Structure 1
Amino acid sequence: MSTYKASTSKTAAALALAGAVGATALAAAPASAVPAAPAAAARQAAGAYDYREVFVPSTGGVTLDGNVFVPRGKGPHPAIVFVSSWTLEDHEYIAQAAKFAEKGYIVLSYTARGFYNSGGGIDVAGPDDWADGSKAIDWLIAHTPVDVERIGFAGISYGSGISQMVAAHDDRVAAVVAMDTWGDLVQSLYAGETRHMSAYALLAISGRLTGRLSPATDTIINDFGANRNVPNLIKWGAVRSPATYRARLNARRVPVMISNAYGETLFPPNQVIRHFAGLTGPKRLDLSIGDHATAHLTGVLGVPSRTWDDAHRWFDHYLTGAANGIDREPAVSSETAWSRKVETYRDTASMTTGSVRYGLAGDGTLGAVRPAGWRKALPAGRDSGATAGVVLLSGGLQTFGVPNATDTAKISRSAAGVWSTPVLTAAKRLRGVPKLDLTVTASAKTGTLVSYLYDVDAKGQGRLITHEATSLLRAVPGKPQRVPVELEATAFDVPAGHRLMLVVDTKDPLYGDADVPGSTLTVQAPSTLDLPLGGR
């Protein structure tokens, strides 16, 4: 069977998608900032490259659906392989692929196995997906004038994780750009031994609707939903975590650029920051305000984008040797809420230059000391009204300047512990990971605590800064225990005249809790909150 598709139906679909992309981009940006729609760009650069719809044969008789841009100039050419996101297909990157092709790159995009016209079953970035990436390289070598020393992998979300895994297992990958990615899949979906049920439901439902789960994946998804076979779930997730294979990436010093969001509800920032910190080769981390994929959407649509511009510069330097300076710039770029100012740092540790410790008090204050002798009983399984928001939506709106806001007066004090600082006389620049050290007495063997940190104005309107859920799965009823909680990393300026508010309750719709009906979790002294300070 030919690896080139004779059918024109998908080519027509590609052109229709390109036109829609262009129209959407036009509506989303000022006229002066909008490039030609991808289809128009392709016509303008008709002499620059050839575009073809292709089949990529892989292991187990599986065929991957794809498309390829091949420059017409004399090769060999550097190449980029784009792997599709969860529930999407190979035309996802067509606007960016055209831009790279105009610069002389071969660009192959393929639909991950199990989705749409690609065969096989969804393996969730497992060994079959790594093999697919290697087969994509084999296809490039067999069918295009590719420079085998200059092949990069890239993707958003699902494609980003697969890209890292292929690079860890195939020495032919010379550079990676991973957008909205994960380092530790277990921590992404089970941090604090708490199931991230909204994220799970979104992935499970959309995967079943748009793809075909492999039998093993179907079992894992069912087990996660039912909260059973947890040790096997953890083992399965570790196999699919780039951090597990970080030593392989480090041994070859693979240049890895990661671009994620502070408000991620699918792959929260702490786990990916830890993964990034452990990389020892050339690396870059862009952190933006928003949620999963929202910071990269405009670039996919062909509109100018800071993070996509960095992706181009990354590949230009590490695949073509362009002296664009990205290798000499600070490794970390961090966007601050709500100024949108981008700060740069040599590494993630240097974002935090100091800290302040607050003690939780029985009168509901956050103070500089650690008061003793107080207790606050929280009813298990009761939602106080404090909320982490709606998966993807609440965080995504922050990309466009809409905070996840709550009227803090409506938070139930009978269902939550609420502690506030006095009105701040000077702004506090939070940079890094806020940490709670709670003392908790549970009346049952299990339970869940959800902690929220708010920026509260004079009218009592709170903007969510960060949060985290933590479950107690081995509590001794009646016995106090220390419960350390790392809230998700943030870059947030709290203005003078506002207050900081900490809320702790036992239930949030984003999470699957371990609460026992009728039980309580009592937060008591000594309990403290450490806030990371920094910024410029």
Structure 2
Amino acid sequence: MEIRARGTRWSSRTLVAAASAALLGVLLTPTGAQGAQPGPGSAPGGRPVKESQPVYSYDDAIRESVWVDTGIDGDEDGRTDRVAVDVIRPGEPAEQGRRIPVIMDASPYYSCCGRGNESQKKTYDADGRPVGFPLYYDNYFVPRGYAFVAVDLAGTNRSDGCVDVGGRSDIQSAKAVIDWLNGRARGYATRTGTERVRADWTTGATGMIGKSYDGTVANGVAATGVEGLETIVPISAISSWYDYYFQQGAPLYDSGPEWLSDYVESPEARDRCQAVQQRLIDEAPRTGDWTGLWNERDYVRNAHKVRASVFAVHGGQDLNVRAKHLGQWWEALSDAGVEHKIWLSQTGHVDPFDFRRATWVPTLHRWFDHYLLGYENGIEREPMADIERAPDQWSTDRVWPPRTTEPTALRPGTGTAPGVGTLSRTPARPGATETFTDDPRRSEIDWAAAAELPTPDKAAFLTGPLSRDLRLSGAGTVTVTATPSTPTAHLSAVLVDLGPDTIRDYAASGEGITTLTERTCWGPSTTADSSCYRETAARTADVDYTVFSRGWADLGTYASAGHGKPLTPGKPYTLTIDLAANDHVVPAGHRLALIVAGTDQGLIDPPSTTPTLTLDLSRTSARLPLVGGAQAFARATAGPVPPRSAAPESRQHGVAEPRRTPPIPGDSSR
């Protein structure tokens, strides 16, 4: 899968504000989009801009709960479900007759598990009034003239209905709240009462934000095209739930969505939602076949409906919500002409507040000021991508992937030892093969550590040491023609940078960060809601190799990605494996390796058999997103190799074995 940036689709709000500013030479706040009074700020480089200021009282903010009717009866109790919506908003704008925009985080985790690196939960006073809102969004943005709205998804905490793991109920839980904020849905003062509550204090302009499951809901709501959703900030978010539990038929996590539903729903929901739980089992078979359940939970296919701008954040080494989700969502948004921006880190499943806090908060502030308040602060004209090149070292790209990125075919060839071949632009001779036997005890870390050695569990193909840096940006594919010895077989393909480096230790606890004891504060606090959070630092590892992209598939999906078939032993099959998106520079002096193997231990479930597979190298290739294309590869594989610097004495061979990530698209702390 190649991903490219296309043109942007500008919203009417942005076009009008930009035209006005250009004609009049002044900052205009669109009518109805009044937040805190703008004050001076600065953009990167010190350019002065206008930004919302913390002029409103956080202590005296209005804290209230509303139950919004979703219009569906997910638990089939004869009445439509209501979701609990906890609101905190400054009191002064309403007193002045001014309306404000909304920042919203819709989550299933507010009572079961908590949010953020410190697993915060909602808290309430004796009358049931919300007093503690997880994360810093309320502390930081409410004084600046925003409302913060925390939505309990259906079936969780204080909401009616059932959790359906990314399906209609989940998405409608949040969409209905946006409809209520825009006067199109009904809100009530209690869960079962008839007293109506109207959101007459808001402009209706809403920005959704959240990590993992929360960001996934933001993707899904944006894909409905709901009016009033102006922007989303999905962090480590799923774009298609099938790809969370499977990849091309290969099963992950040894469980399906029913486990996650049971994990997050309220105790009351477990009794009333038995039918929903059973559907999650019956319609999500562990065969890996695509069903209607997955179709409903595939947001990529509806990316053309997205009206909101998108600020996507993802860890290139996220082994929970893998970067494949980012890649396919990004490509679909690009094709649809959606305004979008990206931060791509070296971490695993980690929030930017915990890996780049001092830059993240003001960047997010400017993003919301622009898209929710209409301030012309120039953020939409800044580089599209921030990429972490080394721990805490970042570069930017005006467009991502860069315009010079071209999908380039690289070919494996035989070498001087069995299972250790070459990787070049030259096709292998007809009849050339490599053979390996699936060993479910071995992982990508084992394969990379033995890339130069003939081992029976993998086939590795290496370039020589590079004479120049070689950058891969985006998502690639690997097409294999393999002959299995059994009726079932799994395949893995990984890209490896062979050479010494210091990276974030994404496989360790924290997934690339260490939580410190010191705290920094991001807004005012109350006794029930602190704005102060523990600082973090990069947790690093000195390594001799880095696996930077990976993909898996069941060979039985050779004919159809949505349906597997039994294989005929001794018959060759051709299959293309999608690799996760990333952006990685293989430095001069290092080598690029493609490894093809069977079960990636700890990351995909083992098959019922352990086949031997024979690769037809003349019909096997990798199509990789090289910046500069084939010419860049030719330059990097020709010429003298620079001297290799000495490795640190404390260098280890690689990161630890990836942890068996639980099937919870939540925080790195769990």
With normalisation by structure 1, the TM-score equals 0.76
Q: Map residues 111-510 of structure 1 onto 2, 5 A cutoff.
A: 111-137=152-178, 140=181, 142-167=197-222, 168=224, 170-197=226-253, 205=259, 207-211=261-265, 212=269, 214-215=273-274, 217-219=276-278, 221-223=280-282, 227-228=286-287, 230-232=289-291, 235-249=292-306, 253-269=307-323, 270-297=327-354, 303-306=357-360, 308-337=361-390, 340-348=393-401, 350=403, 352-353=405-406, 355=408, 357-363=410-416, 364-368=420-424, 369-372=426-429, 373-387=431-445, 407-408=449-450, 413-457=455-499, 461-473=544-556, 474=565, 475-510=567-602
Corresponding residue for 2:76? Answer: none
Moved over 6 A (4+): 409-412
| Number of residue pairs aligned between Structure 1 and Structure 2 | 467
Corresponding residue for 1:101? Answer: 142
Change (3 A) 1:514 1:479: farther
The alignment partner of 1:64 has SS state of strand
Change (3 A) 1:157 1:360: same
> Structure 1 residue aligned with 2:100, among 68, 77, 80?
77
- State the distance in 2 between where 1:204 and 1:410 align: 42
| Amino acid of the structure 1 residue aligned with 2:274 | P
| Amino acid of the structure 1 residue aligned with 2:494 | Y
| Amino acid of the structure 2 residue aligned with 1:379 | T
Query: Which range moves more in the overlay, 317-326 or 105-114?
Result: 105-114
Describe the superposition over 1:155-213 as per-residue Cα deviations: whole angstroms up to 9, x where unpaired.
22222222233342532323222222232222343222212226x57x76565344256
- As a proportion of its length, which structure holds more helix? 1
The alignment partner of 1:183 has SS state of coil
With normalisation by structure 2, the TM-score equals 0.62
Please tell me whether the aligned partners of residues 65 and 84 of structure 2 are also in contact (alpha carbons under 8 angstroms): yes
Please tell me whether the aligned partners of residues 153 and 163 of structure 1 are also in contact (alpha carbons under 8 angstroms): yes
Query: Which range moves more in the overlay, 134-143 or 313-322?
Result: 134-143
Deviation of 1:469 (Å): 0.8
Deviation of 1:351 (Å): 6.5
- State the distance in 1 between where 2:149 and 2:229 align: 14
> Structure 1 residue aligned with 2:69, among 47, 58, 75?
58
Choose 1 or 2 for highest CA Rg.
Answer: 2
Please tell me whether the aligned partners of residues 332 and 344 of structure 1 are also in contact (alpha carbons under 8 angstroms): yes
Please tell me whether the aligned partners of residues 84 and 109 of structure 1 are also in contact (alpha carbons under 8 angstroms): yes
Please tell me whether the aligned partners of residues 441 and 522 of structure 1 are also in contact (alpha carbons under 8 angstroms): yes
The alignment partner of 1:304 has SS state of helix
- Pairwise CA RMSD of aligned residues? 3.4
Describe the superposition over 1:423-462 as per-residue Cα deviations: whole angstroms up to 9, x where unpaired.
2232222222233232211223321111122222279932
Corresponding residue for 2:518? Answer: none
Q: Gaps (5+ residues) in structure 1?
A: 1-42, 389-404
- State the distance in 1 between where 2:155 and 2:343 align: 30
Corresponding residue for 1:392? Answer: none
Query: Which range moves more in the overlay, 277-286 or 336-345?
Result: 336-345
Corresponding residue for 1:22? Answer: none
- State the distance in 1 between where 2:610 and 2:301 align: 40
Q: Gaps (5+ residues) in structure 2?
A: 1-53, 71-78, 115-120, 123-131, 184-196, 502-542, 557-564, 633-670
| Amino acid of the structure 1 residue aligned with 2:177 | A
The alignment partner of 2:546 has SS state of strand
Deviation of 1:108 (Å): 1.1
Deviation of 1:471 (Å): 1.2
Please tell me whether the aligned partners of residues 238 and 321 of structure 2 are also in contact (alpha carbons under 8 angstroms): yes
Change (3 A) 1:164 1:498: closer
Structure with larger RCO (C-alpha < 8 A, sep 6+)? 2
Deviation of 1:375 (Å): 2.2
Corresponding residue for 1:68? Answer: 87
Change (3 A) 1:482 1:125: closer
Deviation of 1:347 (Å): 4.2
Deviation of 1:322 (Å): 0.7
Change (3 A) 1:382 1:282: closer
Please tell me whether the aligned partners of residues 249 and 288 of structure 2 are also in contact (alpha carbons under 8 angstroms): no
Describe the superposition over 1:382-427 as per-residue Cα deviations: whole angstroms up to 9, x where unpaired.
4434349xxxxxxxxxxxxxxxx96337977111112222222322
Change (3 A) 1:229 1:205: closer
- State the distance in 2 between where 1:328 and 1:406 align: 40
- State the distance in 2 between where 1:116 and 1:412 align: 54
Corresponding residue for 2:16? Answer: none
Corresponding residue for 1:18? Answer: none
